[in-house]
Structures are given as structure tokens and as C-alpha cells.
Amino acid sequence: MKDFFKSVFASALGTFLALALGGFALIVLIVSLASSAGSHPSGATVSVKPKTMLVIGGGLTINDTPEHGAPGFESILLGEGGPQLDLYRALEAIDLAAKDRNIAGILLSGPLSAGLTQKAEIRKAIAAFKASGKPVIAWIENGSQGEYYLSSVASKVYVHSAGELEFKGLASYNMYFGESLKLLGIGVQVTKVGKYKSAVEPYLGGVMSEPAREQSEALMGGIWKRVLGDVAKSRGIPAPSLSKIVNAAGIYDARKAVSLKLADKAMHRDELVKQVRSAGADGAGAGADESGTSFLQVNLHRYASKVTLPRSGARIAVVYAEGEIVDGWGSPGDVGGDRLAHDLRVLRGDKRLKAVVLRVNSPGGSAFASDVVAREVGLLKAQGIPVVVSMGDVAASGGYYISAKANLIMADPSTITGSIGVFGLHFNYDELAKKVQLGTDGVKTARYADLLAEHRAATPEELAIVQTSVDGVYEDFLRIVAEGRGLKRDGVHEIAQGRVWLGEDARGLQLVDKLGGLRDAIQEAKQLAKAEEIELIQVPALHSGRENFLQQLLSDGDNDSPVFAKASADPAKDFLKANARWLRAVRALNDPKGVYLTCPLVPTRR
């Protein structure tokens, strides 16, 4: 028996030492990777040979924020570890390429994950690139509508002879859990202000309400009109004719796409290589690669390492608010109210700071967190530091709440904004407990000690208390917008009611001052700062030390991938991605008062 215990002890000690040494080695490895994480593109600048094509696409993701930090469980589960690039550097890289003698042209190839407003800015930058006289070619194999929208700006659009492209219009569907929750015995009680505040509808029934349908049709129609107009202009097809083409099919094989002038020519990959190598104005395009079977190329993600931020002059900070607004510090991909407020407070103490650009790409979220951030925006403005808001795909509800006090608000014509309304949600498992014979019992010291307890439905008196809180938040919302925009309370209330507006319509309602993108907002901030030259800083900064071991393992690597490589097509992964946003939405319901400023209409990144 004694030997047995000695053996067990020795085995346990050996296991412990192995785990300790393994853990130490892992820590060393993580530290090593962390020190080298982001060495590209923020480290050594990529070397570009003469006659190299700049490739845009290939599964690249464009975010507003330079650095989201370490991936969470969702990123691991969904495999979203591919190359990422922030919008500002993407645009600056395209501008730089126009002047770079070693860049022979641009090839748009494969999917690029970004929102419509981001793609619109990239299209604008590519259109400016074309003025340099260098060719812009698009290559489509089996292209989605989002890929075609970006590709259509090219001088020439080529499609694989055995491929197809998609151009079919827009559709938006929500999943409704109301009847399922009832079936399970989970109760949902809602308090809200605003007849258009439809974010709660998925939890209540099985179909959208008429007000929700009305505003959805208006928004989708406006966005589609913009997409159709952009493609029509680029391809030289009248918008009415293009609309007929879309309604005739939606998916077009190579031959049909060419006959309809959606594409210029059908070809195979080897033919594309020849085309790219002879695409220049002088008939000499990209140079041959080492194998002689392809051409010299550098992807946008790598090329962006050549971009440097302005470093002399008045200091202007670009602060990013991208994702759901949540209470507390938040996770990567969220807008943590405390974290963003802290960043703004630190900037307010910077004596060299002359202006702030707040880039908002958020459907809102926690009412309390939104108010914490809005307070800091107001303090910046009161201190004489101008704040310019640049709206991305969506800056609605809480996203608009944190924007309202700015000196100037800019939006893209297709930005989804407004949604000035409030709601509260109370879930309970009263009926479910009865079904499974689950008992809950206890004591309390006061009438409302168990207010909004999950084990039972709230009483009418309790709901009235919550409604009073919701009404108060709505009045605060109206007041902040009225004061920030120089409007009357009743006037704001008239256009509020939770109604969502497109950027171009919001400008007419005085919710937005000007139309423009991120770099336009930086120029406006430069003018407000009365500066000829600027030092630009980003918050959070690129590679701010939050990358980790898992991010390195999950990434696709920093080497240039072949032009024909593309993101993997995994139906299971696509299904998870399509439904993950509902899980994120539930996770973001962490407001301490259970009151939310959330817009349900979040654009899809395709």
C-alpha cells in the first residue's frame, strides 16, 4: 500500500511538473507570438517589385476599427481568422498605389467582406485610381451580389467561362421567436416608446408589424436604388434597363452576363493571366512571376503596410465605436460604454489634442452605456475640442444617442440612422416552470423587492414602474438630440418614434449635417481645428498589443495568397454565421436597468 501511494504521488508530481513546464512553454510561445503579432502590416514594410498588380479581395475583411483584439469564442467557432484591414488604411493604400510606379494596376478578385458604406468608399477610391491611367480589372468566378457591386467599378469585368455572377436585388428577413418562446413557456413582457421601435418584435410574435414593414421597405428601397445607380453608372447601363435585367433572373452564367453587358468577356484563368500581363496602356501590364505561369501581385492587406499616418501638425484622434453598445468594458467587437468613455476622457486630458473624429458603426444597445459615452462627447465639445461624427453602415438608436452632441455629423447616403426610441424587455420562465413542475419559493422584505424576478411574470403595477423608467430615458433621448442638433423637443419627437432613416433623408430632417465618408470627416475636423497639417492618431491603435496566440493560429497567414485563392465555402459555417448575430444580440442585453436603445436593422456584410 505504501508503494502504491508513492507511485501515485510520483505520477501526480510528474503530471504536475509536465503541466507546469508545458504551461510555461506555452506562455513563452504566447509572449513570443504576441511580440511578433502584427509584425505585419505594422512592422516591416512589404517590398513591391516593378510591374506588380495590387489585388483586392480574396476573403479580406474590411473593418472600421484598426484592431479588434483577440478573437472570442465566436471567432474560433466560425473560423473568422482571415486577413483584416481597417477602412482608413485600405483607402490610403489605394491612393498610394496610384502614385507607386511599381504598381501596374488593380485586380479585383474574390469576395471582400465589408458593409455597403465601406464598399462605396472603396469604389470611390478605385474610381480615383483609374484617373492615374493604370488599369482596373475585375475577375469573377462565382461572384455574390456584394462582390459584383465592388467589381462593377472596374474598367473591365471578366467572368470565368464556367462561372456565374449574382445581381438580384435586396431582401431582409428576421427570425421571430415569439411563438416558440410561448411554446416553451417562456414569457416576454415589453415596455417601449415609439411605434416604429421594432427591435422587440422577434421576441413577441411570428411576423413583422405594419410599421416595421413600412420602414423596412423604405430603407431597402433606398439602399437598392443607390446600389442600382452605382452599378448603372459604372457599367453604362440605364438604371431602368438594369432593373429589368435584375427582375428577369438574378443569377447569370458567363455567357448571359456578357450578353447583358454586366461583364465584358468570359475566359479561363490562364487567359486572365495573359490579359493582366498585357493590360497596361502600352500593352505591357503586370510582370511574370518566378514560375512564369502567373503575374507579380501583392494583396491589399500586405500593401497597406506602406501606409503611414500623418505625423506633423495639430493632433486629431479618430475614435472607433463599432459594434453593439454594452454596459461595462465590453468584449472585442463590442462598444464597451466604460471603455469608450475612458478613451474619450483620456483624450480630453491631452493638451495637444485639437479635434476628435468619432467613427460610429453601431445599432446601439445599452441605454445606460450610451448615456455614459454621450456625456464624454459633450464634455469634449464643452472644452472646446470639436467632435465630428462619421457614420458607417449604421449609427442608430444608441449609435445616434452617442453622436447627437457632436459639433458636426456626417453620414453616407445609405447609412441607417435615427431610431430614436426606447424599449425594455422582461423574460420569465413562469409557464415553463409549471410544465416541468419546477417550484420557486422564498421571502421578501418589501413589496417590490423581487421586481422583475425571472421566475414569474411582472404585475401591471411593476410594468408601470418600468414604463416610467423607459419614458424617462426617451425624454432624455429627445432632450439630448434637441440640444445637440439645435431643435425643439416636439420637433424631434415628431421624427423620432423609433423610426429609422437613411443618411440622405436624415440630412433633410437635420439629424445629419453633411454626406461623406471617413476621410471627409477627417478633413472637416482638420478645418474645425484650423490646421494646415495634422498628426493623426487612432483609438484603438493598430496592433495595440491585444493580439494573442489563438489569433495567430487561426489566421490565414501574411503571405500573399494566389489570385485565384478564395475564402472556403463551408455551408455549416455559413449557417452558424447567419445565426450568430442573434446570439450576440442576446449577449448584449446587459443594461443594468434593462432599458435599450437598439435598432433591429443591421446591414449584412457581404
Distance (Å, whole) CA 605 – CA 313: 36
Which DSSP state fits 304?
Answer: G
The string of pLDDT tens digits covering residues 139-148 is 999 999 999 9
Residue 513 pLDDT: 98
Domain residue extents for the chain: 41-168+249-307+549-564, 314-437+452-532+588-598
pLDDT of residue 578: 55
List Cβ neighbours of 178 (8 Å cut-off, separation of 6 or more): 188, 201, 202, 203, 204, 205, 206
pLDDT for the residue numbered 583: 60
Entry pTM? 0.84
CB atoms within 10 A of CB 176: 16
Radius of gyration of the chain, Cα coordinates, nearest whole angstrom: 27
Which residue in 531, 534, 524 sits closest to 406, CA to CA?
Answer: 524
Domain 41-168+249-307+549-564 carries which CATH code? 3.90.226.10
- Catalytic pick among 197, 256, 354, 405: 197
pLDDT, position 600 = 65
Active site (annotated) includes residue 132:
no
pLDDT for 37: 38
pLDDT at 42: 42
Residues 397, 403, 419, 561: which is the catalytic one? 397
Q: Do domains 41-168+249-307+549-564 and 314-437+452-532+588-598 have the same CATH topology?
A: yes
CA dist 26 and 112 (Å) reads 34
CATH 3.90.226.10 fits 314-437+452-532+588-598, yes or no: yes
Distance between CA atoms of 529 and 407, rounded to whole angstroms?
12
CA distance 561 to 563: 6
pLDDT tens per residue across span 276-287? 999 866 666 899
Kindly state the DSSP code that residue 202 receives in the 8-state scheme.
Answer: G
pLDDT at 181: 94
Q: What's residue 76's pLDDT?
A: 44
- Catalytic residue list contains 2: no
Q: What CA–CA distance (Å, rounded) separates 88 from 63?
A: 9
**How many residues in total does the chain contain?**
606
- Where residue 292 falls (left for φ over 0; alpha for ψ -120 to 50; beta otherwise) is left
Residues of the chain with pLDDT under 50: 1-43, 68-79, 545-559
